[in-house]
């Protein structure tokens, strides 16, 4: 087994544990590269089908290419899609910086969905290497009822032993990609032939390294027009993956405020 085999096996184990131990669970589908890998792993884990709903928290501000990707692959992959609109900006905390306030619509949308559908667990495609605050996460992360996160009160996870037993009523976030890196994701996409939104590939010297909403997500300078070129590029550059996300350039505590409030 190579490193991708180990990562795949661990993620499949986590997905099966989550499905077997947490009643009423759903998976977040941002339509980005990480969540597409996560759906692919779920299909491998459960004999070719995803046995729980996938949820797209729709702000109405995704790129047209992203919506086209969603509409195609929800059919091709046979997904049970929850596609509720996020609350409007007027309902979001006005004390947040402007870019973070736009992003916080997804937090509000997730809380709205938890109240509506009553999910006890949410599977999310975050990785520790993406952002400093996410490095504090656990694979099985207990939250308060509305998804609020207390990073100081998280269970230990030594030697890849995961605690999936929580008191009744506990809301749990599950992160099967937590140990993956950005390069791992692209190498796995290449190996498995996983489709992704074409905005990841360079056109006219620009490409999107991370996908979010129009107006707060920007491309980077790049000539990487295929996966081999992306992998080669990532093995040499040192800029953060989310450098094109405007919210990550807001005040230092803005991202942590979003995460504590329940942001993915």
The H-assigned helical ranges of the chain are 3-21, 33-45, 64-76, 98-117, 182-192, 227-234, 254-261
Distance CA 151, CA 131 (A): 14
Does the pTM of the predicted model rise above 0.85? yes
Distance CA 128, CA 117 (A): 28
Return mean pLDDT, the chain: 86
Q: Could you list the beta-strand ranges (E) of 129-187.
A: 140-143, 171-174
> What tens digit of pLDDT does each residue of 26-57 get?
999 999 999 999 999 999 999 999 999 999 99
Q: In Å, how far are 25, 45, 78, 180, 242 from 188, measured between CA atoms?
A: 25, 16, 22, 10, 20
The string of DSSP letters for 43-77 reads HHHTTTS--S-EE--B-S-S-HHHHHHHHHHHHHT
Residue carrying structure tokens 């949820």: 55
232 CB neighbour count, 10 Å cutoff: 13
Strand bridging mode 121-123 / 25-28: parallel
Bigger pLDDT: 204 vs 257: 204
pLDDT for the residue numbered 249: 46
pLDDT for the residue numbered 39: 98
Strand bridging mode 54-55 / 25-28: parallel
Q: Angle at CA 150, nearest 5°, toward 144 and 164?
A: 65
Residue carrying structure tokens 């973070």: 100
Work out the pLDDT band at 101, boundaries 50, 70, 90. Answer: confident
pLDDT for the residue numbered 152: 65
Question: With contact defined as beta carbons under 8 Å apart, do 248 and 131 qualify?
Answer: yes
For each of the domains in the chain, give its residue range(s) and CATH number, in order of start: 3-181+251-261 (3.40.50.620), 198-248 (no CATH)
> What tens digit of pLDDT does each residue of 191-242 get?
999 999 999 999 999 999 999 889 888 999 999 999 999 999 999 988 878 6
Work out the pLDDT band at 248, boundaries 50, 70, 90. Answer: low
Question: With contact defined as beta carbons under 8 Å apart, do 248 and 242 qualify?
Answer: yes
Distance CA 137, CA 152 (A): 10
Q: Which of 50, 174, 26 is nearest to 110 (CA)?
A: 26
> What tens digit of pLDDT does each residue of 45-99 get?
999 999 999 999 999 999 999 999 999 999 999 999 999 999 998 888 888 887 7
* Section 158-173 average pLDDT: 78
């Amino acid at each position: 087994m190579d490193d991708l085999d180990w990562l795949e096996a661990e993620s499949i184990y986590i997905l099966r544990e989550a499905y077997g131990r947490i009643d009423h669970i759903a998976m977040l589908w941002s339509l980005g590269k990480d969540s597409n890998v996560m759906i692919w792993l779920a299909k491998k884990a459960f004999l070719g089908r995803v046995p729980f709903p996938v949820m797209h928290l729709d702000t109405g501000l995704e790129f047209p290419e992203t919506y086209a990707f969603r509409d195609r692959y929800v059919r091709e992959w046979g997904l049970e899609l929850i596609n509720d609109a996020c609350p409007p900006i007027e309902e979001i905390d006005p004390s947040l910086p402007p870019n973070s306030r736009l992003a916080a619509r997804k937090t509000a949308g997730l809380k709205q969905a938890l109240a509506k559908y009553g999910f006890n667990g949410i599977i999310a495609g975050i990785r520790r290497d993406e952002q400093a605050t996410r490095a504090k996460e656990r694979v099985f992360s207990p939250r308060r009822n509305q998804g609020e996160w207390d990073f100081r009160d998280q269970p230990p996870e030594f030697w890849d032993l995961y605690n999936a037993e929580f008191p009744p009523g506990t809301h749990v976030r599950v992160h099967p990609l937590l140990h993956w890196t950005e390069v791992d994701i692209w190498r796995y996409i290449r190996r498995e032939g996983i489709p992704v939104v074409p905005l990841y590939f360079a056109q006219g010297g620009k490409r999107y390294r991370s996908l979010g909403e129009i107006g707060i997500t920007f491309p980077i300078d790049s000539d990487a027009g295929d996966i081999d070129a992306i992998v080669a590029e990532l093995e040499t550059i040192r800029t953060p993956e989310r450098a094109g996300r405007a919210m990550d350039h807001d005040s230092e505590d803005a991202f942590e405020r979003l995460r504590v409030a329940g942001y993915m």
